[in-house]
Amino acid sequence: MKTPLHRHEAIPVAAKALDATQEQRRKRRLAYEDRKLQKRLVRLTGQAIGDYAMIEPGDRVMVCLSGGKDSYALLDILRILQARAPLSFELVAVNLDQKQPGFPAHVLPEYLRAQGVPFRIETQDTYSIVRRLIPQGKTTCSLCSRLRRGVLYRVASELGATKIALGHHRDDILGTFFLNLFYGGRIKAMAPKLISDDGRHVVIRPLTYIAEPDLARYARSRCFPIIACNLCGSQENLKRKEIQQMIAQWQRRFPGRTQNVFNALARVTPSHLLDRSLFDFLGLHPTGIADPEGDFAFDEELAESASVLPHPSGRPPGVDGRGPRRGVALTITPLAEAKDELAPQANQASAQPPRTRRASVRIQPIGE
């Protein structure tokens, strides 16, 4: 027969039971959030693939796996799409072992074998070449990437790959855009799909629509065995990192700004830029016919339909699939015609002519 618990003994038991219940609820909530995140990332990746025709039936896609969070997520999401997609395509993972000191060469093969993914580990001592040619303290990224691309293009040909998939995401594309803008004097970003430098391969970036913080969270939830890069990871003053910090600060202070800038990359108006190779300014002559896409500034028709630019996935800026986030929406409301009939006693000799139309601008927080 069990001895009944005294009151002072029952309290710790009840507290432990409550803690266990709360822990179970926390785990269920985290698992639910992880499933939501995965579902959203898979959807955005599939949308980018569809928008730019990145993968076609019968493709053999070579997924470049560096050991970082982005390439792990790319391979993981492509495998999910491979199992669900109505079209058939192959995946093969490729890692370039650049012989960096301390590189854990066993991690990727063990992970890929456990996942049942076909793979190839290519060994090329590009680390020594970079260290020999680049002075200490200087940026190694440019030379390192050129050497790496050359090796990967060769491996793609040997494997018969029709597409080369890279793990660049939305913030990489924005970072490249601002680097070119601030330091190169060019409006240029990363293409979601392009022909390789050797002209023989198609390079794709399926994570184009995905923000870096979401990939970091996904990598934590999936417990990927991350491998750090000792070449560029130690260069703390890179311009790209400064740009990344700027973008992160924008996102904290002005939710939706970075997404609007990203959206703008897909909504270019060459006639309102200065590049003569993109628009025939020399052959521009009046036709007497109104252009429905012309520059109306803040005319009535445009004012009544003004709105924030849409997200590529169809959601409004500032909404990343986790519900509304605080931002601002611009609303332009035409006012009634301002004529003197409302004030007959007003001074008729005013020095300024009366305005026939005007507009008010109201800034309203998104989500309220």
Residue given tokens 């190169």 in the structure block: 184
CA 248/CA 63 separation, integer angstroms: 28
pTM: 0.74
Q: What are phi and psi of 97, to 5 degrees?
A: -85, 105
What is the C-alpha end-to-end distance of the chain, expressed in Å?
62
pLDDT digit string (tens) for 37-96? Answer: 999 999 999 999 999 999 999 999 999 999 999 999 999 999 999 999 999 999 999 999
CA dihedral 257, 259, 260, 263 (to 10 degrees): 160
**In the chain, how long is the greatest CA-to-CA distance?**
106
pLDDT digit string (tens) for 94-142? Answer: 999 988 888 898 999 999 999 999 999 999 888 888 888 887 777 777 7
The predicted structure's pLDDT at residue 108:
96
Q: Which of 12-16, 19-23, 64-68, 203-207 has the lowest mean pLDDT?
A: 12-16
pLDDT digit string (tens) for 337-360? Answer: 434 444 444 444 444 444 444 444
The predicted structure's pLDDT at residue 6:
55
CA 339/CA 360 separation, integer angstroms: 17
Strands 60-64 and 90-97: parallel
User: Which of 306, 358, 366, 314 shows the shortest CA–CA distance to 46?
Assistant: 314
- 74's CB contacts (< 8 A; 6+ apart) are 63, 165, 166, 167, 206, 207
* Assigned token pair, 162: 């029709």
Can you say whether the dihedral through the CA atoms of 288, 291, 296, 302 is positive or negative?
A: positive
pLDDT digit string (tens) for 315-338? Answer: 443 344 444 343 434 343 444 443
List, in order of start, the domains of the chain with CATH numbers: 17-264 (3.40.50.620), 299-309+326-334+358-368 (no CATH)
Rounded to a whole number of angstroms, the CA Rg of the chain reads 28
* Assigned token pair, 181: 């803008």
Report the share of the chain in percent with pLDDT over 70: 73
pLDDT digit string (tens) for 190-225? Answer: 999 999 988 899 999 999 999 999 999 999 999 999
Residue 194 to residues 35, 90, 124, 164, Cα–Cα distance (Å): 32, 20, 25, 10
CA 286/CA 288 separation, integer angstroms: 6
User: Which of 144, 344, 102 shows the shortest CA–CA distance to 235?
Assistant: 144
The predicted structure's pLDDT at residue 322:
42
Determine the average pLDDT of the residues in 236-247.
Answer: 82
Q: Which helix (H) or strand (E) holds 272?
A: none
